[in-house]
Amino acid sequence: MKMPLDTALWLQFNLYLITLEGYSPSLFIDGGPGGNNGKMYRWQLAVDTLYRCLTCEIMYIWNDAWLNSVGVKNKLGFINALALHNPFDEDDFSENGAAYWLDPLLYGTDCCRLLINKYNIGKFEGKTVCKPFIDEIELVFERHGVGWSETPLIFVKQRTNGVGLAFNSESD
């Protein structure tokens, strides 16, 4: 297991939740790891985790009609929109970012449900990491070319006067 323990527990529980019902992407910025690392860390982690899970088809975006209505053509376009709209910046969020973080619903795919059931993740109640489950999730990530690492896959961006700037990991 390469993933930090707190991140593994957070991901395991969130994947379990999306097999029960649809959740907005904001699930992945609420609580979870990175409390000491700040909001920028949690935003980056959410964007990269959602990118991994969508790429590997562990989850899917339920409302394609909504994606089309906002001009998002594919999963990468959706992830880039999340990377551009800071969920912790009140101005950016209320301006137009809220739609990307709150409107689409994410659901676990059959693959996700199979893994959740295989390892009986519901019994862990978000309190204990099931190492074999996380090992298998990491293997799925690796097979799809989005293996676990601390290096961002899709950089989140600070916005200044509507212009996106690359995220500086030293700032919050």
The per-residue pLDDT for range 73-100, each reduced to its tens digit, is 899 999 999 999 999 888 776 667 788 9
pLDDT at 28 over 80: yes
pLDDT at 35 over 70: no
Residue 16 resides in a domain:
yes
C-alpha span between 109 and 55 (Å, rounded): 12
If you average pLDDT over every residue of the chain, what do you get?
A: 87
Beta-carbon count within 10 A of 51 CB: 21
Residue 138 resides in a domain:
yes
Phi/psi at 134 (nearest 5 deg)? -65, -40
Residue 19 resides in a domain:
yes
Enclosing domain of residue 144: 5-166
Number of domains in the chain: 1
Rounded to an integer, what is the distance from CA 163 to the centroid of its chain?
23
Residue 127 resides in a domain:
yes
Residue 172 resides in a domain:
no
The per-residue pLDDT for range 113-162, each reduced to its tens digit, is 999 999 999 998 778 999 999 999 999 999 999 999 989 999 998 655 44
Residue 77 resides in a domain:
yes
Ranges 49-53, 99-103, 117-121: which has the least confidence: 99-103
C-alpha span between 23 and 141 (Å, rounded): 21
Residue 26 resides in a domain:
yes
Three-class SS state of 94:
helix
Residue 171 resides in a domain:
no
